[in-house]
Amino acid sequence: MNPLDLLQKRSDGALSRKFSRELLIPLNEREQEILSYFKHNDQTDWEDWRWQLRNRIRTRDVLAPMVPLTEQEEKGLEEGAIGKLTMSIPPYFASLIDPDNPKCPIRLQSIPQGHELTTSKEEMRDPCGEDKHSPVHGLVHRYPDRVLFLVNEMCAMYCRYCTRSRMVGDGERTLSTETYKAAFDYIRAHKEIRDVLISGGDPLTLSDKVLEYIIQNLKSIDHVEFVRIGTRIPVTLPQRVTPELVDMLKNYSPIWMSIHFNHPSEITDRVKAACNLIADSGIPMGSQTVLLKDVNDDPAVMKSLMHELLKIRVRPYYIYQCDPIVGSKHFRTPVSTGLRIMEQLRGHTTGYAVPTYVIDGPGGGGKIPISPEYIVERKKDRYVLRNYSGETFEYFDPQIDE
């Protein structure tokens, strides 16, 4: 269906809100090409997040005509990497893959590689030790005043380095109402919990109704001051960010959204439109970025990502060292790479564009901030400090009178 026909459909109440925003973005050539591989293929389908979810690319045979596969990818697809973590790529996200570039950052994140079949000695199934901090199914209570609520096991796209690959993808289960209720009861009984991070899987793969059920229950607990949603959907499936979704979310303000962005090429016109809609609804957004070899381990790429994020009103929040999940060695970089990136950000760009670089203490230590050293020397009553360009300064430290 061409965009004009769709515009006419805007007079239809149900369709008008659904398509009004997306219609401003015509399909590009690659999107049209990817869409042509599917049976029912007009723009109505492309803009429908449920169609995108139903038609996620999950097998080698569907993917191969769209992207000439490398030897590593063939190996990953044929030798069982998808048995460890299933492949799933929404047609929209597949349209971002550069078929001619084996190092395309989008394909590295989404197509399995043979490397995933190699396990290194430091790798773990649950590197963040979430399971041992789980008092009831679906909840992780590691820090005193906040909990992580894993509300489902499904994502639109399975990131090949996923920390939760032990639980996502396989069966794509949603938790039962009884499990949700047990989690609400736990939170209600623990008055110290003031902040709930809803994650999964990806909570935005749930319907608006189920999501609202979860948020409403959490918000009905007096001591829960606010709720955060951790998601990668605005990046991998921006069509999911509908006016109906944000209308529902803004009823439960304050809600914050932590979005997982890894590369500037993820910030397309559709993603910009989705983030605009979220920001205009008064929902503050932060980004979480995983440091990945060949994807974003270059200071220039990382700086460009941070700048693009600020332009769409997403505040860079964390850069994570990639967790030592099983089969992740090809993604992990030395800590010195992360420090070099931080060194190139701090002082060299807007402070808002400088996230915190963290390593999750393996086995359940929580997030530990890592920063380049700016204290050159510590003396009795003064510090010798260096600034971003290497100049040193003495700061006299006020002494406390005994």
Q: Which position has the token pair 């209570």?
A: 141
Instruction: Tell me whether residue 240 or residue 260 sits nearer to ligand SF4 (CB atom).
Output: 260
- Any idea what DSSP says for residue 400? P
Find the shortest distance in angstroms from Cβ 167 to ligand SF4.
Answer: 9
Burial pattern 54-81, b for ≥16 Cβ within 10 A else e, equals ebbbeebebbeebbebeebbebbbeeeb
Q: Is the peptide bond before 171 cis (omega within 30 degrees of 0)?
A: no
Find the shortest distance in angstroms from Cβ 347 to ligand SF4.
Answer: 30
Rg, Å, the chain Cα set: 22
The size of the interface with ligand SF4 (CB under 6 A), counted in residues, is 10
Instruction: Tell me whether residue 158 or residue 331 sits nearer to ligand SF4 (CB atom).
Output: 158
CA angle 35, 238, 155 (to 5 degrees): 90
193 contacts ligand SF4 (rule: CB under 6 A): no
Burial pattern 204-230, b for ≥16 Cβ within 10 A else e, equals bbbebebbbebbebbbebeebebbbbb
Q: How far is CA 230 from CA 53, 141, 233, 297, 370, in A?
A: 19, 16, 9, 23, 22
Considering only residues 220 to 249 of the shown chain, the ones binding ligand SF4 according to CB under 6 A are 232
158 contacts ligand SF4 (rule: CB under 6 A): yes
Instruction: Tell me whether residue 140 or residue 221 sits nearer to ligand SF4 (CB atom).
Output: 140
Quick check: 291 and 319 in contact, CB under 8 A? yes
- Please report which residue ranges of 238-323 form alpha helices under DSSP H: 243-250, 269-280, 299-311
Instruction: Tell me whether residue 157 or residue 224 sits nearer to ligand SF4 (CB atom).
Output: 157
Quick check: 360 and 353 in contact, CB under 8 A? no
Q: Give the residues across from 358 on adjacent strands.
A: 320, 369
Distance, C-alpha 109 to centroid of its chain = 12
Find the shortest distance in angstroms from Cβ 162 to ligand SF4.
Answer: 3
Enumerate the active-site residues: 142-143, 146, 155, 159, 162, 164, 323, 360, 367
**Contact with ligand SF4 (CB under 6 A) among 84, 107, 146, 164:** 164
Find the shortest distance in angstroms from Cβ 337 to ligand SF4.
Answer: 20
For the CA atoms of 50, 177, 366, 190, the dihedral, rounded to the nearest 10 degrees, stands at: 140
Sole window of 42-50, 75-83, 160-168, 175-183 interacting with ligand SF4 (rule: CB under 6 A) = 160-168
**Contact with ligand SF4 (CB under 6 A) among 155, 218, 257, 278:** 155
108 contacts ligand SF4 (rule: CB under 6 A): no
Instruction: Tell me whether residue 44 or residue 265 sits nearer to ligand SF4 (CB atom).
Output: 265
Find the shortest distance in angstroms from Cβ 344 to ligand SF4.
Answer: 25
**Contact with ligand SF4 (CB under 6 A) among 53, 77, 106, 168:** 168
Find the shortest distance in angstroms from Cβ 363 to ligand SF4.
Answer: 19
Sole window of 37-45, 71-79, 152-160, 308-316 interacting with ligand SF4 (rule: CB under 6 A) = 152-160
**Contact with ligand SF4 (CB under 6 A) among 108, 162, 275, 358:** 162
Q: Given the rule CB under 6 A, which residues bind ligand SF4?
A: 155, 158-159, 162, 164, 168, 201-202, 232, 260
